[in-house]
Amino acid sequence: MPSVALLGTGLLGESIGQRLLQRGVSLHVWNRTRNRSKALIEAGAQALNSPAEAARCCDSLITVLRDGPVTAAVLNDIGPLDGSTLITMGTVGVTESQALAERATQQGGQYLEAPVLGSKPQALNGSLLVMAGGEAQVFEEQRPLLSHLCQEPQLVGPVGSGAATKLALNQLIASLTHSFSLSLQLIQRAGVPVETFMAILRPSALYAPTFDKKLQRMLDHSYSDPNFSTALLRKDLRLFLEEATTAGLQDQGLSGLLSLLEQANGTDLDEQDYCALHELTVLR
């Protein structure tokens, strides 16, 4: 069985690793903070002392890292890819992903961007949504691996298209959460019972399942144990705005939302669940 290296074992990376181990994949793991890989090693993964070891023992190298610059730094640390395939699953910008693809080729390897929609629960049960960008041949070679994490991986186009799709979806996370928070704040101040409002909203075309998913957290002002943090949402929205500007799109409304999320920077809200932006939709 081909061996897989997993570089980055944070919240999502660890869950991806656990799923791959459950599916019988021969897994090697590395994280800059070594202790973050402890659970995977105890579950049967082999530890890598450095990213440079990954391409020497593995055919596929999955990165689940915070952003494009961190991924580029780790790719540089890997060195020669020796024909292996780099698969980036973290959220990066379109131009960042294209630059990573060029670097991977220069280092003697193949490249496939495969960002995912979903978090820890979906990774653990194999129901992530994978939107890949790259060459069709590379995608087909990696389809069996991706299928451990996703029922039907999608090749959406060339390198950059997967990154663009992921940013477009994460923009919706920010926009939907913000709009729901504002509506919730207003009806509460008007004395409308929340359940009455939800009973009207749920059967309408305006409803999105994420509203109920985050409702209790917002009502309880409880944002601990996040699957996706406010800081990461802000980072992804900033990337979306950069790509939107490059594409000649009008982004004025979203720029205001980014400014709102900037207020969480340096506060406890930053590392809490992203729906903590509910705390920012009230004038103080």
Among residues 158, 176, 206, the one where a domain terminates is 158
Domain assignment of residue 63, given as a range = 3-158
CB-CB contact of 115 with 71 (8 Å): no
Same domain, 183 and 267: yes
The tens digit of pLDDT for each residue in 8-24 reads 999 999 999 999 999 99
Which CATH number is 119's domain given?
3.40.50.720
Q: How many domains does the chain have?
A: 2
Same domain, 176 and 271: yes
Q: What gap in Å lies between CA 228 and CA 136, rounded to an integer?
A: 30
The tens digit of pLDDT for each residue in 126-152 reads 999 999 999 999 999 999 999 999 999
**pLDDT(284) > 90:** no
Question: What one-letter code names the amino acid at 6?
Answer: L
Same domain, 173 and 272: yes
The tens digit of pLDDT for each residue in 89-126 reads 999 999 999 999 999 999 999 999 999 999 999 999 99
Same domain, 147 and 95: yes
Same domain, 77 and 130: yes
**pLDDT(1) > 70:** no
The phi-psi region of residue 191 (left if phi > 0; otherwise alpha if psi is between -120 and 50; otherwise beta) is left
Among residues 127, 158, 189, the one where a domain terminates is 158
Same domain, 49 and 78: yes
Among residues 116, 139, 158, the one where a domain terminates is 158
**pLDDT(268) > 70:** yes
